[in-house]
Structure 1
Amino acid sequence: MRIGELSRRTGVAVHLLRYYEEQGLLHPQRRPSGYREYVEEDVAIVRRIRSLLAAGLSTSTITTVLPCLRDTGDRLVPTCSDLLADLYQERDRIAQAITDLQNSMDALNGVIAAAPADVTRRALTALGA
């Protein structure tokens, strides 16, 4: 299948599929005309990539972990013993980012709460709230 069909079947934009190829995540064959030729397995690979991106992994990390994952239909399962250490490290990185964002939101809420009532009223009116 060509890139447009892969895009339609996965819901992923053509430019992102090209980017995945640049990152070493997809490996389409090339026709003599230069067109990319994808196989059925590439549909599943793109879905795995999207799942891992949604989980907060970078494309460089996905390049490393993708070969060590099997799709059971309802989840991705690690198949390489050394992969879990990398996944734990990624989970810890994401947990720290969440903590940092929560701290930032708490600080911002403190600033907002300290605003005088008239300033708050004007701001809410401007926001249409």
Structure 2
Amino acid sequence: MRIGELSERTGTSRRLLRYYEEQGLIISTRSPNGYRNYDEDLVDRVMQIRGLLDAGLPTRIIRQILPCLNKPRIIHFPDATPEMIATLTLERDRMTQRIACLIRNRDAVSEYLDTVVGTSAPAPETSGVR
């Protein structure tokens, strides 16, 4: 597929896809006219990259762990450096904090909605009783 289709299917700008390629996160082949061609499996890969970037991981760490993510739930990286382990530990802890914050915010919004709906919604009529 061409870059436009990959962009559309992943919701990622063409510019970001080119950046991912520069960083060695994805690869493309070139057609004779110079257009980039991407494999179908890169749709999932780009989504993984976006998720890891959104989680706060730098591209240099993502580049190192991407090969480990080819098989879901099986991650083994024998060359993990102490820096990489420390970075991943820090990022995991930051994600946990953000998740806790999101849960608190979700619960607050739910409580607010319950209050608003409970006070502004008309009382349900009972069948046939007036």
Pick the TM interval, shorter chain: 0.5 to 0.7
Partner residue, 1:126: none
Calculate the TM-score normalised by the size of structure 1.
0.62
| Contact 2:69 2:75 (C-alpha < 8 Å) held by counterparts | yes
Q: Assess if the C-alpha contact under 8 Å between 1:68 and 1:78 holds in 2.
A: yes
RMSD after superposition: 2.7
1:32 counterpart = 2:29: no
**Cα 1:23–1:39, aligned 2, differ >3 Å: closer, same or farther?**
same
Q: For residue 46 of structure 1, what is the amino acid of its counterpart?
A: V
Percent identity of equivalent pairs: 46
Equivalent residue number for residue 16 of structure 2: 16
Tell me, yes or no, if the aligned pair for 1:68 and 1:83 is still in contact at 8 Å.
Answer: no
Q: Partners of 1:34 and 1:79 in 2: how far apart? A: 37
How many residues align? The count is 95
Q: Which residues of 2 match residues 1-12 of structure 1 at below 5 A?
A: 1-12=1-12
**Residue 108 of structure 2: aligned partner:** none
Shift in alpha-carbon separation, 1:26–1:6, aligned structure 2, 3 A: same
Amino acid at match of 1:6: L
Alpha carbons of structure 1 residues 77 and 49: separation in structure 2 relative to 1, 3 Å? farther
- After TM superposition, give the deviation of residue 44 of structure 1 in Å: 1.1
Kindly indicate which of the two structures has a greater share of residues assigned to strand: 1
